[in-house]
Amino acid sequence: MFYEYYDLKHMPFTEQIAPEAMLQDGRFTHGLSRLEYFVADGTIAVLTGPTGVGKSSLLKLFASRLPVNRYQVIYLHLTHVESASLMRMIVSSLGEKPRLGKDRLFAQILDKAQASEQVTVLMLDEAHLLTEEALTDLRLLMSAGLDGMPKLKLMLVGQNGLNNMIARKSLADLVNRITVRYQLFSLIKDQTVCYIDHRLNLAGGNGKLIDIKAKEKIHDYAGGIPRVINNLATICLIQGATKEQKLINEDIVDEAAAELRVR
């Protein structure tokens, strides 16, 4: 494999990375502090950002830090689903067989959360795909759980369009219950350089494998989006190994960008 040519132990720019191995840049530090406040004292949190910016990684890191004796995390990666289907998904994730009727589904969720010794943290990823009806029902669900039961918390995670959706007047009651909003931005140039070095070091290599100017060019092509950085840097390594070049330079980055059509 190409990474063996550079004496790397494994692929450095994979998206499958353990939370403890993640580079905690300033974006994650600020995000974690807000999410920790939310889970301690809040009701609803909203995390937004463009695709590939690292929202799911931040969620994974956050969830890994929650004491399992105090919190149970229900993570759902959404597609286009109707409200009733969403409620059934939540019930199933709580280990229950969904009943018929929305009222019964609500009751199942609330009863299960109330009976648990842990606080239930419901994370809905790709929440920008939810319908207005589903968001309204989530608000009703959280409202029903407020009286004497702070044991159900909701995280809505999605692309920037989620902010436009919840800005509708019909969802004002939902907005009023949001404790934390956090926008995850792309990496700045210095952060991209640190990110690349960190990934190479984790794989048993050295940041010097990629020239500093090449790293900066990777940042420019990728716009600081970690997922694009991963893809572009991987193609750079493949291209460099094919050409038997031990140092990844700007020319290789240009070729990789043209291959991925990210110019």
> Which residue ranges of the chain lie beneath pLDDT 70?
145-150, 263
The third-level CATH classification (topology) of the domain covering 187-260 is Helicase, Ruva Protein; domain 3 (1.10.8)
According to the model, what pLDDT value does residue 194 have? 97
Domain ranges of the chain: 26-183, 187-260
According to the model, what pLDDT value does residue 143 have? 82
Q: Where are the alpha helices (DSSP H) in the chain?
A: 2-5, 26-41, 55-65, 83-93, 102-115, 132-144, 161-166, 172-176, 189-202, 212-222, 226-242, 250-260
Using CA atoms, how far apart are residues 84 and 147, in angstroms rounded to an integer?
A: 23
C-alpha distances in angstroms, 129 versus 134, 152, 226? 10, 22, 22
Q: Which CATH number fits domain 26-183: 3.40.50.300, 1.10.10.10, 3.50.50.60, 3.40.30.10?
A: 3.40.50.300
Report which of 190, 227, 198, 205 is spatially closest to residue 20, judged by C-alpha positions: 198
According to the model, what pLDDT value does residue 150 have? 67
According to the model, what pLDDT value does residue 147 have? 54
According to the model, what pLDDT value does residue 168 have? 92
Does this chain's domain 26-183 share its CATH topology with 187-260?
no
pLDDT in tens, 51-94: 999 999 999 999 999 999 999 999 999 877 888 899 999 999 98
